[in-house]
Amino acid sequence: MALNKGDRLGPYEIIAPLDKGGMGEVYRSLDTRVQREVAIKTSSERFSERFEREARVIASLNHPNICTLFDVGPDYLVMELVEGPTLADRTASGAIPFDESMKLAAQIADALSAAHRKGVIHRDLKPANIKVKADGTVKVLDFGLAKVVEAGAGGAEEVGLSASPTLTSPAMTMAGVVLGTAAYMSPEQAKGKAVDKTADIWAFGVVVYEMLTGRRLYQGESVSETLASVLKDAPDLSRVPPRARRLLRSCLQKNPEQRLHEISDWKLLLDDEDIEPPKPLERARWLWPSIAVLLLAAAVAAGFVMFRGKAPAAQEVRTQIPKPEGLTFNPGTQATISPDARWLAFVAAGSDNISRIYIRSLDSLEVKPLPGSEGVVPLSPPPFWSYDSQFVVYGAQGKLKKSEITGTPAQVIAETGVEIVQGVSWSRDDVILYARPTSTLERVSSTGGAPVPVTVLAAGDIAHRWPQFLPDGRRFLYLRVSGSPDKTGVYVGSLDVKPDAQSTQPLLLTDRQVIWVTSESSGRSYLLIQRDELLMAQPFNPDTATLSGTAVPIATGVGSFSQATAGLWSAARNGALMYRAGGTGPPVPVSLDSSGAVLSTFSESGAVSNLNLSPDGRRLAYTLSDARGSQDIWVRDLSSGATTKLTFDPQVETAPVWSPDNTRIAFAAVRRGRRDLYEKNADGSGEERLLLESDQDKTPSSWSQDGRFLLFHSLDPQTREDLWILPLEGRQPFVFLKTNEQELAGQFAPDGRWIAYTLLTSGTPKAFVRPFTPDSRSASGAGAQWLVSNVGGVQPRWGADGKRLYWLSLSRGELLAVDVGASTTFQVGPVRQMFSSFGLGGVQGGTWSVNAAGDRFFFVRVPVPSGPPPPFTLVLNWMTKLEQ
Q: In the 8-state DSSP scheme, what is residue 387? A: T
Strand, coil or helix: 351? coil
Question: Residue 287 — φ and ψ, nearest 5°?
Answer: -90, 55
Instruction: Provide the residue type at 417 as one letter.
Output: G
Query: CB–CB of 659/670 below 8 Å?
Result: no
Name residue 139's beta-bridge partners.
131
Of how many residues is the chain composed? Answer: 884
Q: Could you tell me the CA-to-CA distances from 181 to 3, 158, 210, 456, 784 in Å, in that order?
A: 27, 11, 14, 53, 66
Between CA 531 and CA 294 the distance in angstroms is 28
Question: Residue 739 — φ and ψ, nearest 5°?
Answer: -135, -175
Query: CB–CB of 51/149 below 8 Å?
Result: yes
Which stretches within 718-815 are classed as H helix?
none
Name residue 688's beta-bridge partners.
none
Could you report how far apart the first and last alpha carbons of the chain are, in Å?
Answer: 69
Query: CB–CB of 621/614 below 8 Å?
Result: yes
Of 124, 142, 265, 388, catalytic: 124
Query: CB–CB of 632/645 below 8 Å?
Result: yes
Look up 124 and say whether it is catalytic: yes
Strand, coil or helix: 265? helix
Strands 720-727 and 619-625: unpaired
Quick one: CA dihedral 66, 71, 72, 78, positive or negative?
negative
Query: CB–CB of 540/554 below 8 Å?
Result: no
Q: In the 8-state DSSP scheme, what is residue 501? A: G
Q: Could you tell me the CA-to-CA distances from 673 to 457, 599, 697 in Å, in that order?
A: 6, 40, 9
Between CA 515 and CA 526 the distance in angstroms is 8
Instruction: Provide the residue type at 750 as one letter.
Output: P
Between vectors from CA 552 to CA 546 and to CA 554, what angle results, nearest 5°? 120
Between CA 480 and CA 514 the distance in angstroms is 12
3-state SS of the chain: helix, strand, coil percent to 5? 15, 35, 50
Between CA 342 and CA 573 the distance in angstroms is 11
Closest listed residue to residue 653, CA positions, set 672, 626, 628, 671: 671
Question: Residue 54 — φ and ψ, nearest 5°?
Answer: -75, -35
Closest listed residue to residue 228, CA positions, set 164, 183, 273: 183
Query: CB–CB of 367/358 below 8 Å?
Result: yes
DSSP letter string over 537-576? EEEEETTTTEE-S--EEEEES--EETT-S-BSEEE-TT--
Between CA 460 and CA 274 the distance in angstroms is 59
DSSP letter string over 12-36? EEEEEEEEEETTEEEEEEEETTTTE
Active site (catalytic) residues:
124
